[in-house]
Amino acid sequence: MIKKNVFLVLSIVTTLFSVQVFAQPQQAHLSWNSIKKDATSNTMTITWADNNHNKGLVKYGIDQRLTKTETATGKYSDTAKNYIYHATLKGLQPNTKYYYKCGSSEGGWSEQFSFTTAPPFGSKSKFVVGVWGDTQDNEFNEQFQKTAVIVQQLKKSPIQFMVHMGDIVDNGSVGKKWNGLFTTIQSVAAYAPFMPVTGNHDVDNDSASKGYQKPFPVFYDVLHLPANNIDYSYNYGNTHFVAISSGHAKGAEAAGNFTFAPGSPEYRWLEDDLAKARADKNITWIILYMHHPLYSFGWSHVTGWQNRITPLVDKYKVDLCLAGHRHVYERHKPIRNNEVLPQTDDHVYQKPAGTVYITNGTAGGSPQGLGGKDMPSMIFTNTVKEYNYAIMTIEGNTISYNVYNQDGKKIDYFTLTK
């Protein structure tokens, strides 16, 4: 049944992109754009695509009458070959369900969607996060199909939002790949904010020798993240999430352009952000996520990146560090100061003195080689090549992390408590 549904989705999407004409606004997805401490409780940004240049609007409300209206900003994307609109709803009530639709009177309206705002900042109430990465959507190949399957799996969980480890598409310079991705994930991203980092497939590598790897312009057209930046942070309940762009490239490093080099603007921003979060009594957990892993078997450039970031991870006692890039699933023992700490229970981290590192990197990109069991810090790594995603539940002083393959079979789990 799942295969039939996936092929039905693919046939519909194929038809849409072969003619590039939308019968109504498409690719609706949510995000948070504000840098305010309580932004997830009282704001929501809605982005969508349309073939026509109209007066874009969002109609919304706490019931299906949709009594409120917000005007959108729209622009033509030369890469995506359509108009991209976005609107930020402000003054929302915490922990409240809202209904909405987007579009215009002239061009038509999307179907009706809904979302629920976060509880008040500092709340220790339960929330659920979808974790995935390396979708690498490449039109209609196997990656595209597996992403569609994992989207269906994510929809089965009551997720409040999603974090994505980068390599969102296979080639960030090609508009139809972004169109395909956002059409595929609309059924979940129109209900739960999509908060990604950039991966090496999402950025312009040709200019890497001249400077840092930068996202292609279309990235800023289709994604509206805090402060419209690729390095950003936000709070949800009692948890502080920090997303950073690892931007590794041999050419950039040869030119001396190290992303997050000590003293660089992005390094100073990260240290300031982590320091403020760790000093805030409303924040129990700090979760850092990025594309390139800080600890991983089989990635040859890990040491340079590790040397730049782990001193801050250790100094400000980051609890959990998530990454992708490697198309595997890996979980490590707690690590601090590059030293592996003892772990008595493989599935329970009880007040660990170090940071737990996870690689969650195969939600579409082809699974890579296995290995790493002999790595001193490794607790779990795949024994078979398979796609994966995770459901992370945070409630008070406990994080529960469950990892599944594309068929919804649990392949690993752990809890982290304070």
Number of Cβ atoms within 10 Å of the Cβ of 42? 19
Cβ contacts of 42 within 8 Å, gap of 6 or more: 90, 91, 92, 93, 94, 117
Backbone phi and psi for residue 18, each to the nearest 5 degrees, phi listed first = -70, -25
Q: How far apart are CA 175 and CA 81, in angstroms?
A: 7
C-alpha separations of 148 from 5, 72, 221, 273, 305 in Å: 9, 29, 23, 35, 32
Where are the domains positioned within the chain? Answer: 17-116, 127-417
For the stretch 18-46, pLDDT in tens is 334 566 899 999 999 999 999 999 999 99
Res 199: pLDDT: 84
Res 4: pLDDT: 46
Task: Taking the CA atoms of 6, 224, 289 and 298 in sequence, report the sign of the dihedral they define.
Answer: positive
Domain pair 17-116 / 127-417, same fold: no
Q: Which of 104, 92, 179, 188 is nearest to 139 (CA)?
A: 179
Task: Name the CATH superfamily for 17-116.
Answer: Purple acid phosphatase-like, N-terminal (2.60.40.380)
pTM higher than 0.85 for the full model?
Answer: yes
For the stretch 348-362, pLDDT in tens is 999 999 999 999 877
Res 175: pLDDT: 84
Residue ranges of E strands in 72-160? 73-77, 82-89, 97-104, 108-109, 113-116, 127-132
Res 248: pLDDT: 57
Q: Residue 16, SS3?
A: helix
Number of Cβ atoms within 10 Å of the Cβ of 110? 22
Q: What is the DSSP string of 153-222?
A: HHTTS--SEEEE-S--BS-TT-HHHHHHHHHHHHHHHTTS-EEE---TTSEE-TTTTTSS-EE-HHHHHH
Res 188: pLDDT: 98
CA 300 to chain centre: 24
Residues of the chain with pLDDT under 50: 1-20, 208-211
What are 403's strand-pairing partners?
Answer: 390, 412
CATH of 127-417, one of 2.60.40.3950, 2.40.50.140, 3.40.50.150, 3.60.21.10: 3.60.21.10
Question: For residue 377, is it left (φ>0), alpha (ψ between -120 and 50) or beta?
Answer: alpha
* 411 CB burial (10 A radius; 0-12, 13-18, 19+): middle
Q: In degrees, to the nearest 5, what angle opens at C-alpha 272 toward C-alphas 267 and 273? A: 100
Res 139: pLDDT: 58
Res 211: pLDDT: 47
Task: Give yes or no for a contact between 54 and 106, defined as CB atoms under 8 angstroms apart.
Answer: yes
Q: How far apart are CA 210 and CA 227, in angstroms?
A: 25
Q: Which of 248, 143, 144 is nearest to 205 (CA)?
A: 248
Q: Residue 131, SS3?
A: strand
Q: In degrees, to the nearest 5, what angle opens at C-alpha 14 toward C-alphas 10 and 15? A: 120
